[in-house]
A and B are shown apart, each in its own frame.
Chain A
Amino acid sequence: MRFDLSETQQLLKSSARQFLTAECPMAEVRRLMETEVAYDPGLWARMAEQGWTGIHFSDASEGQGMGLVEVAALMEEMGRALLPGPYLSTVLLAGTLLEAAGTAEQKQKYLVPIANGQARATLALLESSASWQQDAVRLQARREGSVYKLDGTKLFVPDASVSDFILCAARLGQELALFMTERGNTGVGVKPQPAIDSTRRLDEVNFVAAEVPPEDVIATGERARAALEYTLDVATVGLVAEMVGGMQKVLETSVDYAKTRKQFGKPIGQFQAIQNYCADMLVWTESARSAAYYAAWALTEQAPEAKSAVSVAKAYASDACREVGNRGIQIHGGMGFTWENDLHLYYRRAKASEIAFGDAAFHRERIARLVIDRAAPTR
C-alpha cells in the first residue's frame, strides 16, 4: 500500500505548477474574467501542447492514456491557479463521455479534435428543475424521418459559449439518450447565464427542432445511463481535486498574511483565534485531498467502492472548500472583502464548485443509497 504520488505523477504536478505560474498568473485570470467568454485560444493551444487536452483518453483517441490520479494532480494545480476556461467541460465532461460511449467514428470526429486542442466541448444536462438526477432529464428528442429532432431548454451548461460541440442529454420516449450537437447549427442557441464565478461561465442552450443525424446519437437507454453516471463521477473527481488546489492556495495566502499583518504590536498569526482558524483550514484541505486522490484511484481501478468514494469526496469538499474560503477572508479582515484581493475569486469558484455536479446534501443522499440502503435487513 502506498498513498502518495509516484515520481512521474509528482513531476506532472510540478511542471503543471510551473506552466500555470508562467502562463496564467493572477493578472491573466483577472484579464480573462473580464472578457466576454473567459477563454484564451493561445493559452488553450499551449495547454494542448502539454498534452492536457487529451490527458486520460486512449492512444486511439490521440490521448495520453493517463489515469485519473494524474488528472487529479493536474486539476489540483489548475484550481490553485484558478485557471479560467472550458477545461472541465471539454476534457472531463464531453471528453470522458465520448471516450466511454462513443463509436470509433464518433471518437475520430469529435474526441480527436478535443485531444488535439482544436475543439472545445461541453455537456448540456440540467434543465429548469435544476436537478442532477438523470430522471430529471425531460428535454424531448423525437425521430423524424431519417433524423432526430431536439426541442427544449438546457440550463447551467458550463462554457457552452466557447464550445464547438454540445452533448445533450434528452428523453427519447421513456429512455435517456445522449446526442451530439454543434454550436452554430440551426436550432441550437446559446445565451450566457451570468453567475457568481466569472472565471467559468454558464450558459442557457435552447434547442428548437435542432436536427441530429443518427450517426451522432452517442448512446441510449442503459448504456447512456451508465456512461452519464461514469462521466459525472470522473468530472466530479476532477472538480474536487481542483477545489483542493483552491483550498491549498487560500490556506497558504492566509497563513502568509497572518505572519505579516500586525495588530496590537504582533503578527495576528500569534493569536490563537487566528491560529485555530488556520489549523482547521489545514485539516479540511488535507482531508479533502485524501478523499479526492482516493476517489481518483478507486475510479481508475474500478474498485467496488468507487461511486461512494466519489460522493464522499464531493460531500466533504463541498462543505470544506466553502469553509476554507470563509476562514481565509475572515483572517484577511477588511482587505479580504475588497475587489482587489484575490480571495473573493476563489470564494466565488468555491461556491460554484460546491453546486456543480451536486452539493454536499445531494452526495450524502447518494452515499445513503449506496451504503445505508444496501445494509437494509432482508426479509
Chain B
Amino acid sequence: MDLNLTPTEQQFRDQVRDWLQNNIPADWPERRLLDEPMEERFEYLRGWQRKVYEGGWAGLHWPKQYGGRGATLMEQVIFTEEMARAGAPTMPGVLGLALVGPTLIGFGTESQKRRFLTPILSGEEIWCQGFSEPNAGSDLASLRTEGVRAGDHFVVNGQKVWTSYGWASDWCELLVRTDPEAPKHKGLTALLVDMHSPGVEVRPLRQMTGESEFNELFFNDVRVPAENVVGQVNDGWNVALGTLGHERGLLGAGLQVSYKRNFDRLVEVAYTVERNGKPAAQDPLIRQKLAQCYAEIEIMRLNQMRAISRISASGVPGPEGSIQKIFWSELNQRVQQVAMELLGPYGQLTRECDRAIDHGQWAYNYLRARGNTIEAGTSEIQRNIVGHFVLGLPKSY
C-alpha cells in the first residue's frame, strides 16, 4: 500500500501541469460562462481536443500503433484529473475516447482499429453510442432496432433514444438485433454506423435543464457494410457490456476532481451568504452538511484509487464499476441539495438573472444532477448488477 505517486508518476504529473498551464486557451475562463450556441461551443471544444491530440496527450493509455502513448492506466487517470483540476475545456469526443475507442481496442478487427482510432483521438470524427430505445431502457437487451443481413451489408431499421452528442456525431456504435429467434441476449450485434449514411435522421431532445445535450436517432433502411461488425455477429451483448464497463468505471476519474472544485467553491460561497446573522460557514447545521459532503467526495476519490489499482492489476473494469456509479451519482444529488439549502432563495436564480450567484451555476447543477441517477444505467439497475454479478444473488428479472 503506497498512495504516493511514484517519482515517474510525479514527473508525468508535472509535465501535464506544465503543458496545461501553457495551452489552455486564455479566453476559456470567460468563454466558459457564455451562453453561446451549442454548435459554436462544440467547434471551439473540438479545436481544444485537436490541440490535446497534437500535444500527444489524447488516448494516453492506448497502444502506440493506433496513435496512443502506451502509457499506464495511472498516467491516464493523472491526466484526466489534472485536466479537471486546471478547469480545462472538456473534450467533445469524450464518448469515442472513453467508450468506443477502448471497445474497439478490445473487440475490433485490425483494420477497424487502423481506420477509426486515430480520428477518435484527434476529434476529427465524433462518436455517439446507440444503445437505448424507447422500449428498451433498463432492459437494454430487449432492444428491437433490427439489422438484417443482405449480402455484404446489414440493413438497419429502428429508433434509438437518449443519444448524447447524436447531433454532432460522424459515427455511432449501434446495437441492433440480428437474430430475432435467439434468446434476447444472444441475438444482438454491435455495428459501426456512418451517421452521414442515407436513412439516418437525428432529432433533438430537450432535457429538463433546457439544453439539448442528447437526441433521438431514426434509422430507415440504413446500409451498413458487414466489415463494420464489432466482435462476432450475435455476440453484441458482450461487446456492449465491455462498453458499459468503461462507462461506469473510468468516466469517474475527472468527475471527482470537478466535485472537489465544486465543493471548494461552495465553501467560499458559504462565507459570503448569511444564515442566522452570521456567515453560513459558521452555522452548525451547514457545517455538518458541508463536512458530510467533504467526507463523501473524499471517499469517492479513495474508492476510485482502489478501483484503479484493481483494474491496473486485472486489465479490465469489472462490475465493481456499478458501485462507483451508484456512489458518484447519488453523492452529486446530495451535494447539490446542500448547495441549494446553503444559498437559500439565491439558489433558484438562473443565469439570466443579474443577481444569480456564480452565473446561475447552482440552479443548473441542481437540475442537471437529477439526471445522474438515470443516465449510464439507473441506480436501480446498478443495484441489480451489484446484487447479481458482485454478490451472487439470483437474478431478479
Q: What residues make up the interface of A, taking CB atoms closer than 8 Å to B? A: 1-6, 9, 69, 255, 258-259, 266-267, 269-272, 274-276, 278-280, 282-283, 286-287, 290-291, 293-294, 297-298, 301, 308-309, 311-312, 315-316, 361, 363-365, 367-368, 371-373, 375-377
Expressed in whole angstroms, the Cα–Cα distance for A259 and B306 within the complex equals: 28
A259: chain B residues at CB < 8 Å are 392-394
Shortest beta-carbon distance from B74 to chain A in Å: 6
Verify B287–A372 contact, CB threshold 8 A: yes
Interface of B is mostly: helix
Shortest beta-carbon distance from A364 to chain B in Å: 4
Interface size on B, residues (CB 8 A): 50
Answer yes or no: B268 CB below 8 A from chain A CBs: yes
B306: chain A residues at CB < 8 Å are 3-4, 286, 290
Expressed in whole angstroms, the Cα–Cα distance for A376 and B268 within the complex equals: 8
Verify A1–B74 contact, CB threshold 8 A: yes
With A3-B3, A3-B308 already in contact, the answer to whether A312 and B295 are too (CB < 8 A) is yes
With A3-B305, A3-B308, A312-B295 already in contact, the answer to whether A272 and B288 are too (CB < 8 A) is no
B380: chain A residues at CB < 8 Å are 272, 276
A375: chain B residues at CB < 8 Å are 264, 267-268, 271, 281
A278: chain B residues at CB < 8 Å are 386-387, 391, 393
B390: chain A residues at CB < 8 Å are 279, 282
B302: chain A residues at CB < 8 Å are 3, 287, 290-291, 294
Expressed in whole angstroms, the Cα–Cα distance for A294 and B308 within the complex equals: 15
Q: Could you give 9 example pairs across A and B, Cβ below 8 Å?
A: A2-B309, A3-B1, A3-B302, A255-B392, A272-B396, A279-B390, A286-B306, A365-B284, A365-B291
For the complex of A and B, list the 10 residue pairs with the smallest distance between their C-beta atoms, beginning with the closest.
A275-B387, A364-B291, A290-B302, A279-B383, A279-B386, A367-B291, A368-B287, A269-B393, A270-B394, A3-B305
Verify A315–B388 contact, CB threshold 8 A: no
- Total A-B residue pairs with C-beta atoms closer than 8 Å? 163
Q: What residues make up the interface of B, taking CB atoms closer than 8 Å to A? A: 1-6, 9, 74, 264, 267-268, 270-271, 281, 284, 287-288, 290-292, 294-296, 298-299, 302-303, 305-306, 308-310, 313, 323, 326-327, 380, 382-384, 386-388, 390-396
With A4-B310, A283-B323, A368-B288 already in contact, the answer to whether A297 and B394 are too (CB < 8 A) is no
Expressed in whole angstroms, the Cα–Cα distance for A372 and B30 within the complex equals: 27
- Nearest A residue to B322 via CB reads A279
The 8 Å CB contact of A1, one of B5, B384, B394, is: B5
Verify A280–B383 contact, CB threshold 8 A: yes
Verify A297–B3 contact, CB threshold 8 A: yes
Verify B391–A255 contact, CB threshold 8 A: yes
Shortest beta-carbon distance from A118 to chain B in Å: 32
Expressed in whole angstroms, the Cα–Cα distance for A5 and B24 within the complex equals: 38
* 16 more A-B residue pairs beyond the given contacts A275-B384, A279-B384, with a C-beta to C-beta distance below 8 A: A3-B308, A4-B309, A272-B387, A275-B393, A278-B391, A278-B393, A279-B383, A279-B387, A280-B383, A282-B386, A283-B326, A283-B386, A291-B298, A294-B302, A298-B3, A364-B288
A279: chain B residues at CB < 8 Å are 326, 382-384, 386-387, 390-391
Shortest beta-carbon distance from B174 to chain A in Å: 30
Expressed in whole angstroms, the Cα–Cα distance for A291 and B2 within the complex equals: 14
- Nearest B residue to A275 via CB reads B387
B291: chain A residues at CB < 8 Å are 315, 363-365, 367-368, 371-372
Expressed in whole angstroms, the Cα–Cα distance for A355 and B291 within the complex equals: 18
A274: chain B residues at CB < 8 Å are 393
B74: chain A residues at CB < 8 Å are 1
